[in-house]
Chains A and B, each alone.
Chain A
Amino acid sequence: MRAMWGTAATRGLLLGVGVLVANFAVPRLLPGTPLTAPELAPLPSGARQRIQAEYLLDRPWTEQFAHYLRSLARGDLGRSLVSFRPVTQVVGERVPWTVLLVLTSWTGAVVLGALLGTLSAVTERGFRRRLWLSALVFVGSLPEFLVASLLILTFSVWLPLLPASGAPHPPYTWAQVARHVFLPVVTLVVSATPTFALLSRDLVGAVLREPFLLAVRAKGACSWGVLRHAWRCVLPTFLTLAGLRLAGLVTGAAAVERVFGYPGMGSLLFDAVLQRDYPVIQGVFLLGSLLVLTASTLLEGVARWLDPRVR
């Protein structure tokens, strides 16, 4: 078992290092630097020198990299070019909102997708099943921002039940938070569920044709019993793949947050891009990627632990 955790953790670590290196290398390798960006007003010379000194931009890249790692170890991601607050603080206050949004909708979509997928795997072939599948494929191929707009139109414009945008003001209650999180979560659930449903349908459908399930049936297990056996077999695979899909959900969340004006990392990214606030953009990239990697590595570990043959 330790070995299995080991491989998941090794991969997570390697990828994490990859992200750290990309965060360092991408801005330095790409043509054009933040200091010479044409959209920016020419910086006063003092500011330019301060920025150069802060990132050691006139030194060889090995020194820059060592400096970068040292600041990372201190939890220092630089300062925002706009608000001059530390990036860790600027990004950090948005993280809980995005984590709430992504985790809630991921969980919802996984559960709903597993249910729908199992249902369609046991439905008999025919027109109804095909209709189901076509509907799933169609809904699943809609971009998130479109689903978001349709939901706003339905629940905020035609039926004014829920707020179309924004977040509650600081002394908030759970009910207020729930009201504001509801539509974004529904959007992500709607657009992520079909993928999980089709995935679990394929997996469960394949296992249901296995001889050992025929034996289970022959022993007189009820259909719940059969499904329980099937899911035990499918669950590790399903969880691993669903964990990898988290990265896709974060993309969707960025667009959804923007459409709903939700105060998460996606909206922060939008503002930072608009103001060309490079340290903040880098901070969102770094923290977002590391969070996703941690989550999917943990899930993979859990999935491997769930596998009875390994345990």
Chain B
Amino acid sequence: MARPAGAVAVPSRRTPRTPGPGVDVPTAGALLVLAALVGVAVLAGVLASYAPREVAGPPLATPGPRLPLGTDELGRDLWSLWIYGTRTSLLLGASVGLLSTAAAAAAGIASAGTHVFARIVSAFTELVAAIPVFLLLVLTMALTGPSLGALVLALSTCGWAVFARVVRVQTRVELQRDFVAASQALGATPVWVLRRHVLPQLAPLLWTKFLLTVRWAVVVEATLGIVGLSDPVRPSWGSVLGSAFSYPLLFAGDVWLRWAGPPALSVALLTWSCTAVGELAAGTGGRRNGDARGSAALTGSWGAVRELALGPSRRGIPEGSVEKKSAGWAAHGRV
């Protein structure tokens, strides 16, 4: 749409979905942090001075001119390890996020109609919600060997089910709207309805799910690393943390600051920024008053889990009170 020169800027015809605040200072900070971490991951080859598994100096060297953070107990450069670890952990988070969000969306939408499939999905969801997924992951990883690909597959397999239920509920809500009925009356095919009416409404939900899954995957990877299960070939935040916590004198000097510090801080920053940015994404969807901000972030799973636990009868809690807030926040806060 070319606009004639000198014309007054016409306000966008697209009505904003919420009149609420846009990007505030903390959210902008979170976006910056995310961007910086992604930048480190992309430019890993440029920023790191050594290859990930290269011996760069004597074991446990103190920082020097070519070793900004010193070395670990095998003489590897901690700075390069952190940089390559960032690449691995973010790659893992993003792949798990993409795979399990896609699976959740597909399963949720598919089960919105048919009955048997819906029941299977919810049965699986209950299983995943109630057993300690982490123990299952440890068992799986111990058997297959902790390669990055196996971890991505295992995490994605566990990560979609709880959320599929939320997608199903939301899809049903959207399908009952008047404009969908109108569209169907005008002869719209199911695919058209899905693309034009359902998916755009689900988009904020899916974005939030993606970010929360990234956060979850990175934290689980780090925890698995601490338990001793991380890909031996590719350094990740988890593997660096694992080797750091295996060193018995970690807290005796200031080694912890250079060794466990960078990956631990990165995990914390990433979880925080995913939460904050995810909140922004969710805010474009449901109701958002200043007060509800963030509370749903951690109660995330409750909207879905509550429904599981309590069934459709809602047991005395007013309809929609928690669901509305948490709808966008569905799926695991943590395993």
- A interface residues (Cβ-Cβ under 8 A, vs B): 11, 15, 18-19, 22-23, 26-27, 30-32, 34, 37-39, 125, 129-130, 133-134, 136-138, 140-146, 149, 152-153, 156-157, 164, 194-195, 198-199, 201-203, 205-207, 209-210, 233-234, 236-237, 240-241, 244, 247-248, 250-252, 254-255, 258-259, 266, 269-270, 272-274, 276, 278, 281-282, 284-285, 288-289, 292-293, 296, 300, 307, 309
Give B57-96 as 1s and 0s: 1 = Cβ < 8 Å from A's Cβ atoms: 0000000000000000000000000000000000000000
By a CB distance below 8 angstroms, the chain B residues around A269 are 135, 138, 227
CB–CB A195/B298 < 8 A: yes
CB–CB B143/A27 < 8 A: yes
Task: Find the residue from A32, A125, A269, A307 having the highest chain B CB count within 10 A.
Answer: A269
CB–CB B131/A247 < 8 A: yes
Chain B: CB-nearest residue to A259: B245
Please report the C-alpha to C-alpha distance between residue A233 and residue B316 in the assembled complex, in whole angstroms: 7
Residue B258 at the chain A interface, CB threshold 8 Å: no
Return A37 CB to nearest CB of chain B, in Å: 7
CB–CB A130/B143 < 8 A: no
Please report the C-alpha to C-alpha distance between residue A146 and residue B265 in the assembled complex, in whole angstroms: 8
**Contact A143:B222 (CB < 8 A) given known A240-B309, A270-B228, A273-B227:** yes
CB–CB B131/A289 < 8 A: yes
CB–CB B251/A156 < 8 A: yes
By a CB distance below 8 angstroms, the chain B residues around A19 are 131
Residue B199 at the chain A interface, CB threshold 8 Å: no
CB–CB B305/A141 < 8 A: no
Please report the C-alpha to C-alpha distance between residue A143 and residue B221 in the assembled complex, in whole angstroms: 11
Give B256-298 as 1s and 0s: 1 = Cβ < 8 Å from A's Cβ atoms: 1000100010011001100100000000000000110111111
CB–CB B335/A26 < 8 A: no
Chain B: CB-nearest residue to A207: B317
Q: Which of B127, B138, B215, B306 contacts A237 (CB 8 A)?
A: B306
Please report the C-alpha to C-alpha distance between residue A198 and residue B302 in the assembled complex, in whole angstroms: 10
Report the interface size class on chain B: 35 or more
**Contact A137:B294 (CB < 8 A) given known A195-B333, A244-B309:** yes
CB–CB B302/A292 < 8 A: no
By a CB distance below 8 angstroms, the chain B residues around A136 are 298
Label chain B's interface by main secondary structure. helix
CB–CB A273/B142 < 8 A: yes
CB–CB A251/B223 < 8 A: yes
Q: Which of A15, A153, A273, A300 contacts B309 (CB 8 A)?
A: A300
Chain A: CB-nearest residue to B297: A137
By a CB distance below 8 angstroms, the chain A residues around B138 are 254, 269, 273, 281, 284-285
Please report the C-alpha to C-alpha distance between residue A199 and residue B317 in the assembled complex, in whole angstroms: 13
Residue B315 at the chain A interface, CB threshold 8 Å: yes
Residue B130 at the chain A interface, CB threshold 8 Å: yes
Residue B322 at the chain A interface, CB threshold 8 Å: yes
**Contact A199:B264 (CB < 8 A) given known A251-B132, A288-B135, A300-B309:** no
6 closest residue pairs by CB, A with B: A206-B321, A251-B134, A247-B132, A141-B271, A240-B309, A250-B132
Q: Which of B126, B136, B219, B298 contacts A137 (CB 8 A)?
A: B298
Give B194-224 as 1s and 0s: 1 = Cβ < 8 Å from A's Cβ atoms: 0000000000000000000001000110110
Q: Which of A11, A152, A157, A203 contacts B126 (CB 8 A)?
A: A11
Return B28 CB to nearest CB of chain A, in Å: 15
CB–CB A282/B131 < 8 A: no
Residue B152 at the chain A interface, CB threshold 8 Å: no
Return A4 CB to nearest CB of chain B, in Å: 11
Residue B144 at the chain A interface, CB threshold 8 Å: yes
Chain B: CB-nearest residue to A135: B294
CB–CB B315/A285 < 8 A: no
Please report the C-alpha to C-alpha distance between residue A40 and residue B132 in the assembled complex, in whole angstroms: 28
**Contact A130:B272 (CB < 8 A) given known A38-B145, A248-B335, A270-B228:** no
CB–CB A143/B127 < 8 A: no
By a CB distance below 8 angstroms, the chain B residues around A11 are 126, 130
Return A200 CB to nearest CB of chain B, in Å: 9
CB–CB B302/A143 < 8 A: no
CB–CB A194/B298 < 8 A: yes
By a CB distance below 8 angstroms, the chain A residues around B119 are none
Chosen A-B contacts, 25 in total, with CB atoms closer than 8 Å, are A23-B139, A26-B139, A32-B145, A125-B291, A134-B294, A136-B298, A137-B297, A141-B272, A141-B298, A142-B268, A143-B219, A146-B267, A202-B326, A206-B318, A207-B316, A237-B310, A241-B309, A255-B226, A255-B227, A258-B227, A259-B245, A278-B142, A285-B135, A285-B136, A292-B130
Chain A: CB-nearest residue to B232: A39
Task: Find the residue from B135, B222, B310, B334 having the highest chain A CB count within 10 A.
Answer: B135
CB–CB A153/B256 < 8 A: yes
By a CB distance below 8 angstroms, the chain B residues around A300 are 309
CB–CB A199/B302 < 8 A: yes
CB–CB B143/A26 < 8 A: yes
Residue B133 at the chain A interface, CB threshold 8 Å: yes
CB–CB B251/A309 < 8 A: no
Please report the C-alpha to C-alpha distance between residue A270 and residue B325 in the assembled complex, in whole angstroms: 39
